[in-house]
Amino acid sequence: MKELTIGYLLDLIIGDPQNPIHPIRLIGSLCKKLEKIFRKILKNSLKIAGLLTWIFSVLIVYLVSCYIVKISFSINHIVGIVISGIMIYFTISTKALKVEGLKVIKFLLKDDIEGARNQLSYIVGRDTKSLDKEGILRAVVETIAENMSDGVVAPIFYAGLLGAHFAFVYKAVNTMDSMFGYKNDKYKDFGFFPAKLDDVFNYIPARLTGYLIVLASFILRLDYKNSYKIYHRDKSNHSSPNSAHPEAAVAGALGLKLGGANYYFGKLVEKPTIGDEIKKINIDDVNKTNNILYLVSFLSYLIAMILTLIGRFLI
């Protein structure tokens, strides 16, 4: 419980540290190296190569993180708690989501559309060169909403349920999906298993996030009834079985229409829309989304603490 509290508070206070030795970046480097190895060995069986990359990446991250936790506790109980807390901190992205979104908004406040497009390109996969102000705002809200699950609720959930080492395992799974889960020529086969296994790991957190957003909307006096309605109506309006859950709940709470067609790598990709356009999107909707983000983060922390208590009671 203390480890989770340390990790949660460090994320809120410090946010994501920008340095080349960030553990999640190291995990990404590991995955890339294993990708090269298995692509070379199994160049005619890319689905198997992707599966083996996933297995070895997860196994290495699990063993290394378990070893770190074990060694730190063997030194001293307090050292173990602190190190585990720092590990959990590296897996949570509440403040980072807010900060990265606000970096885009700063350009819009100066009417610098080109600057906003460029800044947005660092946090989204879609093409940003032709987006207008409303398109930029929708992309920011969608990014914060979608990442509430895999950037906040899921790592907190797994840390509370199984500990710091499993929070790292989750981040390895999620990192591989973000690296390999594309449906282009390079990754449609290699990324098949990493994408599907990420769906499995995010199944519960995505749905938990959806309901937490509805609850947060009620507490924040937003349209929680519409949040619940749109969540249940549009939660499957995405190629991923999980991504639309938080987006739908946020869209309903704010009275916005999200999703729809976007350009990726120069190609128009048609996607279902999420929510109803009750009103035009504006900058304040980003602030409201951030308020939802922080409250959902706190609610997921409380749930994780309860899971930790239940786990200790059962043990």
pLDDT of residue 58: 97
- Would the pLDDT of 315 be above 60? no
| Predicted confidence band of residue 198 (pLDDT cuts 50, 70, 90) | very high
- Considering only residues 126 and 233, tell me which one the structure prediction assigns the higher pLDDT: 233
pLDDT of residue 314: 65
- Record the pTM: 0.92
| Arithmetic mean of pLDDT, 126-151 | 92
Question: Which amino acid, one-letter code, is at 78?
Answer: I
| Arithmetic mean of pLDDT, 87-97 | 95
Weakest-pLDDT range from 23-32, 178-187, 222-231: 178-187
> Using H for helix, E for strand and C for coil, what is the string for 159-220?
HHHHCHHHHHHHHHHHHHHHHHCCCCCCCCCCCHHHHHHHHHHHHHHHHHHHHHHHHHHHHC
pLDDT digits (tens, 9 = 90+) for 262-294: 777 777 777 889 999 999 999 999 999 999 999
pLDDT of residue 17: 77
* pLDDT, averaged across the chain: 92
